[in-house]
Amino acid sequence: MSEEIKVQLTTQPGEKPDSTNLSFGKFFTDHMFIMDYHKDKGWYDPRIVPYAPIAMDPAAMVFHYGQAVFEGMKAYLTESGKVLLFRPDQNMKRLNRSNERLGIPEVDGEFVIHAIQTLIEVDKSWIPTEKGTSLYVRPFIIATEPCLGVRSSYTYQLIVILSPVGAYYSSGLEPVKINVESSYTRAVRGGIGFAKAAGNYAASIKAQENAKKEGYSQVLWLDAIEKKYIEEVGSMNIFFKIGGTVITPAINGSILEGVTRSSVITLLQEWGVPVEERKLSIEEIYEAYTNGKLEEVFGTGTAAVISPVGELHWNEHTMEINDGKIGEVSQKLYDTITGLQSGHLPDTRNWTLTF
């Protein structure tokens, strides 16, 4: 796709939020990117317009049958005024895997990255620079055709919005408490768990709310069939350091394949830390815990980057991990990944896109 992106600038720029108090996903920049799709035309009319509500037909298929996928990545501003994006090509590949599963047409990943770059340039003054802050980029695609028949929509919109964000958890890099969910299921092999689809979150909210009420910040999902094998946490993949080896569940069709997860695996391999992707049961975790071998647990995802787990609750068992403190490997991974993302560490792996 090489169509030129039309830019319509706002006449009413918004007020920038206090960058010491951003939290996550509460503020939005002045502009957004929109592109339309029609089955006879393909993707067309890419444009940057003032951020505003979008008018939708109440019969738009996304409201009824849920064809909606999204992505998430972070942009940083370096001291020399350059913008950095972390592995956006990986997000585009995953977007197209999500599209494929939900019957949504493929996008030209390179063009969407170009559109994201153009949008960020327009709203560059919104990128916060306070430590721990960044500009979160949220591309998403929705089915827009007004039709109540069940089939894939003939029309879609791809929209990109930007949000200046602080730390994902208000407590910062504090270890979180997580509840192992034993009754509800997020996703099952053959379903849409591997896709970054809005519906996966709809399936997870009830358990998440219950866990919140009990004082946990997230739930750890087990496999849908045996309720035995570890899958992932809310919006993060999960890693366990057991007796010196770092283990994460293998990609199996129901787990979301995180860009942070894959970066963590690469870094650990480079550092010579043994790392395994395999099936991992909750019993194995509990046994490692009782033998004093469960050394670190951490979640990985764009929003929180690395989120140390200080306490894991499974049925009547409470496992306190590393005295509720962040572990050495978790800290090193956090420092390295945020260092690469923000340009404080040299990019020797060609992971960042600079503009």
Residues forming the site for ligand PLP (CB under 6 A): 72, 196, 232, 235-237, 256, 258-261, 300-302
Q: Give the list of residues 6+ apart from residue 25 with CB closer than 8 angstroms, or none.
A: 136, 138, 163, 165
Sequence-distant (6+) residues with CB within 8 A of 319 are: 285, 286, 289, 294, 311, 312, 313
Q: Which is nearer to ligand PLP, 232 or 296 (CB)?
A: 232
Closest separation in Å from C-beta 87 to ligand PLP? 9
The answer to whether 58 touches 148, Cβ cutoff 8 Å, is no
Nearer to ligand PLP among residue 31 and residue 261 (C-beta): 261
HSE of 19, CA atoms in CB hemisphere, 13 A: 13
Residue 323 CB, shortest distance to ligand PLP, in Å, is 27
Minimal distance in Å, beta carbon 149 to ligand PLP?
Answer: 29
CB of 255 to ligand PLP, least distance (A): 7
Q: Which is nearer to ligand PLP, 62 or 255 (CB)?
A: 255
Question: Which residue's Cβ has the minimum distance to ligand PLP?
Answer: 258
CA angle 308, 310, 313 (to 5 degrees): 120
CB nearer to ligand PLP: pick between 72 and 310: 72
Please list, residue by residue across 114-144, b when 16 or more beta carbons sit within 10 angstroms of its beta carbon and e when fewer do.
Answer: bbbbbbbebbeebbbeeebbbbbbbbbbbbb
Residue corresponding to tokens 């519906």 = 199
Among residues 162, 141, 168, 122, the alpha carbon closest in space to that of 302 is found at 168
Nearer to ligand PLP, 73 or 329 (CB): 73
Q: How far is the CB of 238 from ligand PLP (least distance, A)?
A: 9
Shortest Cβ distance from residue 225 to ligand PLP (Å)? 18
Q: Which is nearer to ligand PLP, 221 or 289 (CB)?
A: 221
Residue 53: CB minimum distance to ligand PLP, A:
25
Task: Tokens 């949000």: give the residue.
Answer: 163
**Alpha-carbon distance 307 to 248, whole Å?**
14
Looking at residue 150, its amino acid is: V
Considering beta carbons, is residue 133 or 200 the nearer one to ligand PLP?
A: 200
